[in-house]
Structure 1
Amino acid sequence: MNAQPPAPTCVRHPNRPTGLACTRCGRPACPECLRPAAVGQHCVDCVRQGQREVRPVRTVAGATQTARTPIPYVTYVLIALNTIVFAVTAGQSKSLVENTGHSALYIDWVLYPPAVAHGQYVRLIGSGFLHYGPIHLLLNMFALYVVGRGIEPVLGWGRYLVVYLVSLLGGSAAVMLFARDSLTAGASCAVYGLFGAITVVLIRVRQNPNQMLILIGINVFISFSLPGISLAGHLGGLAAGTLATLGILFLPEWLRAKTQENVRLIGWAAVAAVAVTALAIIVAAAISLR
C-alpha cells in the first residue's frame, strides 16, 4: 500500500501542515498567514506586495491624498512662529499693544529699504513675522489659518511652504522698489500670496474662483484706502504667490503633452524663476539706495 505524501506546510511556518493556499501565488499558507481578498484569499506577502504596487492618490499639485483630512502642520508652525515673535517684541517693549516701541527684535527685523541696502538682509524675511499690536497679529493669523488649511493639503507641505516664502519675498521686493522710505511689517504679504495661490488652485480644478477674486478685490481696496497699510507689499506678495502656483500647477500639465520627462521639475523651475526675479528687484533697488 502506497504511503500518502506528506501534507504541505505553511511557507512562513514550516511546522504547520495546511491544506490552504494563496490564490495569488499558489503557495501553501496557514489560516494565520491568509487574508480575505476579492477572489479567494491572499497570503500576507502578496498583500504587502499589492499595497506597494498601488499608486497613491495625488492632488493636482502632486501631493499625496489620504482618506482622512491631513493636518496642516506648516500652517500651525507658521502661526506659532508669528505668535512667538510677537510675544518677544511685546516682552522687550513691556507692552502688549505698543509692542514695537522699544523692541530690539522689531528694530532689527522691520523692513526698512535703506537698511537692507546696507546689508541687513534678514529684514526681507524677518519682517514677515513682525506685527503691530495684537489686532494686527490676530487678523493675519486668522486669514493664514483659514486659507492655509485649504491650500496646504492640495500643494503638499513642501510646495506650500515655498509658495509662502516666495510670496513674502515678492512683497519685500515690491516694498524695496515702490515704498523706499517706509517701515513695513506683517505676514499679510505672504497671506496675499496664498490668496492668489488658492485662486489658481480653484481654476485648475475647474471650480468657480469668483468668491476669492471678490475677496482679493476687497482687500486690495482696503489696502489702497487706509493709511499705514503696505499696498506695494500686498500686491507684490499677491503677484509672487500667484505666479509661483501657476508654475507648479499649469506648466507641468502643459508640457506633459510634449514630453515624458520629469515635468514636475519645470514647476519648481518656475517657482525658482519667481524667487530669482524678486531677488533681482531687491538687488537693483538696494544698489540705487546706496
Structure 2
Amino acid sequence: MTNPGWGGTPGEGVPPQPGCVRHPDRPTALSCNRCGRPACPDCLREASVGYQCVDCVRAGQRDVRPVRGVAGNTVTQARPTPIATYALMGINILVFLVTALQAKSLMDNGGGFVNRLTGVATFDSPLFGRWVLSPDAVAQGDWVRLVGSGFLHFGLVHLAVNMFALYILGRDTELILGRSRYLAVYAISLLGGSASVMAFEGGGFTAGASGAIFGIMGAQAVILLKLRRSPAPIIGVIAINVIISVSLPGISFWGHLGGLVAGAAATAALLYAPQWLGAGQDREKAVRIGWIGLALVTAVTLGLVGMRVVQLRTEFGL
C-alpha cells in the first residue's frame, strides 16, 4: 500500500536532517528554543519554555545577577559548608593537642611554676609559654602572644566549651557574612580581647578563644538588627555569659568584653557604614567602605595595644 502525499524514501525529495551544532555527525530534528540552532538530545536542557542548548543555558546563567547577602556576599541556592569555622576549630584543637603532648597532660597542659626570685614563669608546654598572653611580655616585644593566646586553652574542658560555642555560633555567622568577612570579624574580635586585657587587666596570664567567640556574639546581635529581627535571644546569651565572667574566678571579664565590643564594631562597619556613607546601590563602593571600616576598627584596636605597651615600657624603664 502506498501513500504518495506523505514523504518518501531518503534521497527522493526528503531533505536530510541537519547535524547537531556540537556534534555534526549526529542528525537531529530538534533545535534550541532560544537560538534556533539544531541540537541533539544530549545537548538540550529543559527550560521554562521548551528546551535550550547548553550554550544558551550557560549564557543565561551569566546574565542572571547573583543574589547578595546582607553583607554583600554572594548567596547560592545550596547551603555552603562553613569551612572557615571548621578550620578555626581544627587549629584550636591541633594547638591544644601539641601543648597537651608537651605537658603530658590533657587537663593541665598550661601548668608550670613562677620563680619567686626572678618572677619568670616556666610552663610545662614550651608552646604554651611562648603564646600565652602576658601584658609584660608583649611590652617587651612578644607580639605573637596577642594572636597566639587566642588558640590556647587551659585544659580539655576549657577547649570543649569554647569549641562547642564556636560550632553553634560560628556556622550561621559565616554563612551570613561570607567567609572572608567572617574571618576578618573573628580576627578583630580576637585582637580586641587581647587589647582589652592589655589595657585593663593587671599581671597574670590569659588564654582562650572566648574573646573571639564573644565577638561573634556581638556580630550576631548587629546582624539581627540589620535584618530588623529581635536580637533579644543573643543578647540574653551575652548577658548570661557576662554574669558568668564576673561571678566565677579565673575568667577574663575584660577579654570577653573587649572581644564583644570589637566584634560588634567590626560587623557594624560592614553592615551599616556603607549605608551611612551613601553607598546606595553601588555594590563596589559598599564593599570598599566595609573593608575600610574593618581596617579602622583594627587600627583603633592596635592603637590601644600600642598605648599600653608604651606605658608598660615606661614603667620598666625600657
**Superposed counterparts of 1:49-88, under 5 Å:** 49-88=59-98
Tell me if the contact between 1:167 and 1:236 (Cα under 8 Å) persists in the aligned partners.
yes
Q: Distance in 1 between matches of 2:50 and 2:186?
A: 50
Corresponding residue of 1:222: 244
Partner of residue 25 from structure 2, selected from 15, 36, 49: 15
Corresponding residue of 1:96: 106
Q: Deviations over 1:7-33 (max 9, x none)?
A: 433222223333332111122223332
**Superposed counterparts of 1:43-192, under 5 Å:** 43-101=53-111, 102-192=124-214
Corresponding residue of 2:4: none
Q: If the length of structure 1 is used for normalisation, what is the TM-score?
A: 0.94
Tell me if the contact between 2:92 and 2:151 (Cα under 8 Å) persists in the aligned partners.
yes
Q: Distance in 2 between matches of 1:285 and 1:138?
A: 32
Give 1:42 deviation, angstroms: 0.9
Deviates more, 1:155-164 or 1:69-78: 69-78
Tell me if the contact between 2:19 and 2:39 (Cα under 8 Å) persists in the aligned partners.
yes
Partner of residue 302 from structure 2, selected from 263, 279, 284: 279
Q: Deviations over 1:48-85 (max 9, x none)?
A: 11122222323211233233332211111111111111
1:35 partner SS: strand
In structure 2, what residue type is equivalent to 1:269? Answer: I
1:268 aligns with 2:280: no
1:71 partner SS: coil
Give structure 1 regions of 4+ aligned residues with deviation exceeding 6 angstroms: none
Corresponding residue of 1:208: 230
Corresponding residue of 2:260: 238
Tell me if the contact between 1:58 and 1:65 (Cα under 8 Å) persists in the aligned partners.
yes
Q: Distance in 1 between matches of 2:216 and 2:171?
A: 11
Q: Deviations over 1:172-195 (max 9, x none)?
A: 111111113131110000000000
Aligned length: 289
Give 1:144 deviation, angstroms: 0.7
Q: Deviations over 1:130-186 (max 9, x none)?
A: 111111111111111110122111111111111111000011111111113131110
Tell me if the contact between 2:274 and 2:280 (Cα under 8 Å) persists in the aligned partners.
no
Q: Unaligned regions of 5+ residues in structure 2, if any? A: 1-11, 112-123, 314-318
Deviates more, 1:163-172 or 1:47-56: 47-56
Q: Distance in 2 between matches of 1:220 and 1:65?
A: 34
Q: Deviations over 1:238-289 (max 9, x none)?
A: 0110010011112223423386752211011111111111111111110110
In structure 2, what residue type is equivalent to 1:289? Answer: L
2:105 partner SS: coil
Highest relative contact order (Cα 8 Å, sep 6+), 1 or 2?
A: 1
Q: Distance in 1 between matches of 2:249 and 2:220?
A: 27
Two-structure CA RMSD over aligned residues (Å):
1.8
Tell me if the contact between 1:24 and 1:46 (Cα under 8 Å) persists in the aligned partners.
yes
1:288 aligns with 2:298: no
Greater radius of gyration (CA): 2
Q: Distance in 1 between matches of 2:27 and 2:94?
A: 64
2:75 partner SS: coil
Deviates more, 1:2-11 or 1:172-181: 2-11
Tell me if the contact between 1:244 and 1:270 (Cα under 8 Å) persists in the aligned partners.
yes
Q: Distance in 1 between matches of 2:300 and 2:165?
A: 27
Q: Distance in 2 between matches of 1:258 and 1:41?
A: 35
